[in-house]
Structure 1
Amino acid sequence: MRILFLTPYPLGKAPSQRFRFEQYLPELDAQGWQYQLVPFLDEATWSILYKPGHVGAKVLGILGGLWRRLLLVLTAVGKYDVVFVHREAAPVGPPVIEWLIARVLRKRIVYDFDDAIWLQDPAWERAFASRLKYPRKVSLICRWADRVSCGNAYLRDYAAQFSPQAVINPTTLDTENLHNIVRSQATAPGGTVVIGWTGTHSTLRHLDLLWPVLERLEQEGHRFEFRVISNFPPDYEGLKSLTFRPWRKDTEIADLAGFHFGLMPLVDDAWARGKCAFKALQYMALGMPALVSPVGMNTEVVQDGHNGYVCATDEEWYEAIRRLLTDEALRTRLGTAARRTIVERYSVLSNTRNFLNLFK
């Protein structure tokens, strides 16, 4: 089996790539399969992609990516058995590359996505790059693909309108080699409980749901640190207990393991319903409870009162956070169940056969 992976970003840079297929590459080696990963963006363009300015360099980077994609189709795609397309072959314009691969070269496509990418992401609706996208391409690629790999049932149900071969391939974690730290819920005498949130700048908007709740807890005298790990700090100054740590790949797991429990609020909109509960998966894999909004896949992963809490209102968020702040034994019990959920249902170990079946 020879597989060509067409990815948006360089190897090891983006969570969606790392946790949807990159961590399965050793298994492909074990199967004796050959593969190559070809990113659209080069390292230089990736390094400035989310920084302000650099417009000229970004435009040149995108044009360079388009040229490399076309050259790849003309010279190299023919030697592969399957082409795995993660999200899209090119981030701008109609799906010309996918059409050439599927309709002209007659190659099998496995199409993979983990967000509602047929919609406009609210976090990017005013960005210049968003105007160059072609959301309608998702339905077209689904029609052309031999298999559509979807992160959850919501995404699968969309893809199934266009393909009878749409299947659920959940985002998973390597609980043996990466997410293998189990958080101790014990605190030193007088120690502070750390409530955590992690995500990118595009998801910081969801924290607006929680600021009033956290302020209320702080004003009532509860001692805690609310630690945010992201590539940009939140633009909020009303919470004294707020701290920020920049996300770093080399310290990611240790930084997350510094939480006692993690939060995943989501605004209930069409885009958020496509989310694959990734924050909750990470918290739970490290042996801590996850508190989540009842949106999208969250209610599939988190069972209220068993491995975390599902919170729909300010009062439910308040009660769940207050309970965990004051009850170490409860944090330990829910955290143990949370880790078990991930190992049994959302780990590389439990999903390897499902992933390999995408190519058969």
Structure 2
Amino acid sequence: MKLENKKIDFIYWFAYYNLDSPSVRYRAKYPLDFFKKYKSVESYFIVPSYRPREIYLFLKAYLSALFFRKRNSLIVIQRVQSHFIYSTLLKLLIRIKNQDTVYDLDDADYLAVNPKTIHFFAKHCEKLSAGSKQIEKYLSQFNNQIVHTTSPIVDLEIVKKNRNAIFTIGWIGGFGGEHKDSLIELVFPALKELTFQLKLMVIGVLKIDDVEFIENYFQDNLNIEIEIPLEIDWNDEADIQKRIVLFDVGLATLTNSEMQLSKSGIKAKQYMNNGVPVLSTNLPENNTVLVDGVNGFFCDTTRDFKERLNQFYKMTDTDYLQFSENARKSIVNFDHNKYFADFEKIKNGI
């Protein structure tokens, strides 16, 4: 018997935080804007706040979902994990209006906070949306109606055209914790051994101590120019992508820990979206989008990073541009069309 293809006309999206969260921007705000423009899907996008306007918008969306739910709609609860009134009301909502309710999780928050609320939504939402295979595996103990929805990237058609005169190696993200440790352990020693002229761009350093650490680390390497832009507006997606497209190679290092293995591989996807080849550790989720020798290379040791960086530097323009083109073509695996198709799967129970 053929399953009925249920369309999506409306999405009630209740986020766990505001737009300062990359998860909220990349998994909610930007996709919902795309769905409205290209898929004719309207939405209520709600962030928790004590401001009068946000409270009004929450009540408008909440009461609509509870008493006047729109046809062909999804109710998505994104990463809500607290025990306050916001989560309490959403718990009530999904118990009363359970059909086509979705709990969306793209980070291993259950390792960092009391997971009671996460477990509640995982058990009682009708369906689950997991941002990584590792999270999908974890959540499956509570609910087997689950779809892997890799975090999408905004396609602004900002695409690399050619290499820089000075070979530029780039990294973007929050420079702290395991992200910082993996760079220092795997990549920085490799850079110190390179002898050609290069620029290292590190986007996302917030502390002056970290800026000084990086500059001091490479102070004896006169061939390395350091660029660390400060005061980044993370909500200006066009500006972010205009910075990424200046990279010749993007670094995406993950460590083999439960928290890192649960990440959605956002860095690698950001680079590829702008046509920048990637050097990445061979770990999930990066290895679901990177094809070794096609749109980048896997590097698991300092020696690997050194050899592949030398290879990209010595590469002909023709060969480099092929890697760049392949990286750009990879976006079909993580663009907004793919993300929408994933939510159609959720709607149709596939």
Deviation at 1:99, TM superposition (A): 2.6
1:210 to 158, 183, 186: 183
Note if 1:239 corresponds to 2:215.
no
1:22 to 29, 32, 42: 29
Number of equivalenced pairs: 319
1:7 to 1, 6, 15: 15
Letter in 1 for 2:147: V
| Greater RCO (Cα-Cα under 8 Å, separation 6 or more) | 2
Deviation at 1:225, TM superposition (A): 1.1
1:109 to 101, 107, 112: 101
String of CA shifts for 1:28-51, please: whole Å, max 9, x gaps: 4665554211211468xxxxxxxx
Deviation at 1:72, TM superposition (A): 7.3
| Alpha carbons 2:11, 2:42 under 8 Å: kept | yes
CA RMSD of aligned residues (A): 3.1
String of CA shifts for 1:215-267, please: whole Å, max 9, x gaps: 55345422111111116153523124332113222511111111111001112
The 3 A distance-change label for structure 1 pair 134 and 72 is farther
| Alpha carbons 1:261, 1:331 under 8 Å: kept | no
Looking at structure 1, the residues matched to 117 and 79 of structure 2 have their Cα atoms a distance apart, in angstroms, of 10
Which deviates further from its counterpart, 344-353 or 282-291? Answer: 344-353
SS in 2 for 1:118: helix
Looking at structure 1, the residues matched to 169 and 131 of structure 2 have their Cα atoms a distance apart, in angstroms, of 27
SS in 1 for 2:228: strand
Letter in 2 for 1:14: S
Letter in 1 for 2:125: A
SS in 2 for 1:164: coil
Deviation at 1:211, TM superposition (A): 3.5
The 3 A distance-change label for structure 1 pair 217 and 200 is closer
The 3 A distance-change label for structure 1 pair 207 and 358 is same
Deviation at 1:149, TM superposition (A): 0.8
Q: How does 1:219-298 map to 2 (within 5 A)?
A: 220-230=194-204, 232-233=206-207, 234-235=210-211, 236=213, 237-240=216-219, 241-246=225-230, 247-248=232-233, 249=236, 250-298=238-286
Letter in 1 for 2:204: S
The 3 A distance-change label for structure 1 pair 256 and 92 is farther
Looking at structure 2, the residues matched to 220 and 311 of structure 1 have their Cα atoms a distance apart, in angstroms, of 16
| Alpha carbons 2:271, 2:278 under 8 Å: kept | yes
- Residue number in structure 2 paired with 1:337: 326
Structure 1: gaps (5+ residues): 44-60, 121-132
| Alpha carbons 2:150, 2:264 under 8 Å: kept | yes
- Residue number in structure 1 paired with 2:153: 173
Structure 2: gaps (5+ residues): 1-8, 220-224
The 3 A distance-change label for structure 1 pair 305 and 35 is same
Looking at structure 2, the residues matched to 23 and 105 of structure 1 have their Cα atoms a distance apart, in angstroms, of 26
Looking at structure 1, the residues matched to 139 and 119 of structure 2 have their Cα atoms a distance apart, in angstroms, of 7
Deviation at 1:16, TM superposition (A): 1.5
- Residue number in structure 1 paired with 2:305: 317
Letter in 1 for 2:309: I
String of CA shifts for 1:110-154, please: whole Å, max 9, x gaps: 11111122112xxxxxxxxxxxx4223222211111111111222
- Residue number in structure 2 paired with 1:326: 314
SS in 2 for 1:112: strand
String of CA shifts for 1:278-323, please: whole Å, max 9, x gaps: 0000101111111111222111111111111111111111111222
Q: How does 1:122-141 map to 2 (within 5 A)?
A: 133-141=113-121
The 3 A distance-change label for structure 1 pair 242 and 97 is farther
String of CA shifts for 1:129-180, please: whole Å, max 9, x gaps: xxxx4223222211111111111222112121111211111111233xx2x1
| Alpha carbons 2:81, 2:117 under 8 Å: kept | no
Looking at structure 2, the residues matched to 198 and 70 of structure 1 have their Cα atoms a distance apart, in angstroms, of 33
Which deviates further from its counterpart, 210-219 or 277-286? Answer: 210-219
| Alpha carbons 1:111, 1:148 under 8 Å: kept | yes
Letter in 1 for 2:217: G
Note if 1:182 corresponds to 2:159.
yes
TM-score between the two structures when normalised by the length of structure 2: 0.79
